[in-house]
Amino acid sequence: MSTPLLAAHNLNRQFGGLMAVNDVSLRVHQGEILGLLGPNGAGKTTLFNLISGVTPVSTGRIEWRGVPITGMASHAVAGLGIARTFQNLRLFPTLSCLDNVMVGLHRHARQKRLAALFQTRPFHQKQAKLHQEALALLELFGIADAAHRPANSLSYGDRRRLEMARALANRPELLLLDEPAAGMNPHEKDQLCELIRQIQAQFQLTVLIIEHHVPLMMQLCDRLVVLNFGKTIAEGPPEQIAKDPAVIEAYLGGAG
């Protein structure tokens, strides 16, 4: 079998006495859309934080294309081609939407410091190109009209779209989306589903997505992994997960 793009082996993360992520192993294959489901507090965001280097692992191993990256700082992980959005949005609220996306592009473009300092002609040409790219990303997400407005003037749904545009500006190979449809109405959720498919094809992305809206996940994902109390309780194609007794128990157990 081919080496997965990303592999997590026996990951653990403890917060005091709490095992937020408990012996989780995961393989993400190139080109797939893998969904991460689980009740509140199951450890989904913590798993994203471990993968993206935001939170150090307690024990376990993470590999990118078979190479160990455990313990790597978040900016270095981003440099590998792993981008993410945050459940609690992390935009620059008073910067324009365009500038929020340009921040991501700059990181990718790695402009030479001296060129930037002296504002040379190549620097200006590069700036113009980045500007165009950022606008194209905003257009893709349907928020180009707001390009020059501050991020905090957008609706909640549009802010989520802006976060995705910014994540894409890093030109990632693997995109981690933490509840991108939160706060969207059913029509917007459908549109988002379509958009994720579109960007996946257009940018040849691999996607790891956390989302509570089960119908969206069933429709969108090639495979689902379900966490509960930090542990993996099920893994497989959506139709198999939908009838998995452990999953049904995890979601309905407390309600009956």
Residues contributing to the site for ligand ATP (CB under 6 A): 15, 18, 20, 38, 40-46, 87
User: DSSP letters of 143-173?
Assistant: -GGGTTSBGGGS-HHHHHHHHHHHHHHT--S
Q: 151: Cβ–Cβ under 8 A, 6 or more apart, which residues?
A: 91, 92, 93, 94, 95, 96, 97, 100, 159, 162
CA distance 161 to 199: 12
Query: Three-state DSSP class for 251?
Result: helix
Q: 72: Cβ–Cβ under 8 A, 6 or more apart, which residues?
A: 53, 80
CA distances to 45, 48, 101, 179 from 88, rounded to whole Å, are: 10, 13, 17, 9
* CB closer to Mg ion out of 47 and 91: 47
Q: Cβ 180 to Mg ion, closest distance in Å?
A: 12
Q: Cβ 20 to ligand ATP, closest distance in Å?
A: 3
* CB closer to ligand ATP out of 46 and 100: 46
Q: Cβ 62 to ligand ATP, closest distance in Å?
A: 16
* CB closer to ligand ATP out of 97 and 227: 227
CA distance 81 to 170: 7
Among ligand ATP, Mg ion, none, residue 38 binds (CB under 5-8 Å by kind): ligand ATP
Q: Cβ 6 to ligand ATP, closest distance in Å?
A: 18
By CB under 5 A, name the binding residues for Mg ion: 44-45, 87
Q: Cβ 51 to ligand ATP, closest distance in Å?
A: 12
Pairing relation of β-strands 6-15 and 59-64?
A: antiparallel
* CB closer to ligand ATP out of 210 and 220: 210
Among ligand ATP, Mg ion, none, residue 104 binds (CB under 5-8 Å by kind): none
Among Mg ion, ligand ATP, none, residue 41 binds (CB under 5-8 Å by kind): ligand ATP
* CB closer to ligand ATP out of 2 and 88: 88
